[in-house]
Structure 1
């Protein structure tokens, strides 16, 4: 049986610290949003419940990390995987891949003069890049717009 997170030794101190931080954020955000024309009443009604929920989540996460660091590490790993798996999917869809290819010097007409890709081609292959090589595949993706 795991003890409840609120029984963590640092629970009270963590709660006070997080409340202080949230109060300061609210003090800075509310006047800024009001200057932009957002209703003060609406902001205050929503900020109270939002502050309570954010405080509860942040304190619970802190309590969990303090009492159960192995579980917290596993949850961080799962959350990270959940974030990066869709990013890898977008990479394979093309737009991010095109951006990366362009950044390293693969252009739609071939390696960009003075870029990393041109240097790598000159260093590894010279003027004749072998058909089907990793370099040729990356260049082809850059030339067709990285549509996979």
Structure 2
């Protein structure tokens, strides 16, 4: 993958190594990912296309189309509630903080459920998703009413969102059962695709473990716990930052050249996929 020639590769590698040694937090990942939004989006779409071709399965590209529906529905919801938030002098940053508190309460509710001894099956995972989304609906309606947001706006959004989230979890669950070594790639892909509407989707999809995990501060340990609950797997510590490197981002996004759909990129991704599968 291309890295700008303005800096020697040895310099980039050295900074990456130093960055990794200071144990980056989940906040570091999100900040870096947002700065490289377009390049990362391009990269994961190529990843999904390559995986679909390699495994001869549309499930991988279905992840991209499903996330597109989720992001578009959330963008519409954002536009619909903007007037009410402005009327109360509430910024989206402030509203996001409120949302994070709402979703953390849902996480605490999930912790009351006995942890499964093994990865949940399709039906069990579907029940868990249903419970999370029902709790989300109740919490969002209550929060919306505090700011004068019409209940119908929230219920319309959730009606559009619910089947898409259920489909997303089902698709990833099916792939994970067949190819568990690809799980980190799938979680990373979803996390990158939610970035355009991260104000809502970061805490919402975080309920299902779509976020950086490992020995990192705060949210990282929660993400690891949720990943084990929903998928029976955890993302290896540090893998999120190696992903940024694999995607050509480096540690500082401005060092990275554009990610394009070249035969070299496709070949690199297929090599990565084969490497993942060889460890199963």
Task: Give me the TM-score of the superposition, normalised by structure 1.
Answer: 0.46
Highest CA radius of gyration, 1 or 2? 1
By relative contact order (CA 8 Å, sep 6+), the higher-ranking structure is 2
Task: Give me the TM-score of the superposition, normalised by structure 2.
Answer: 0.27
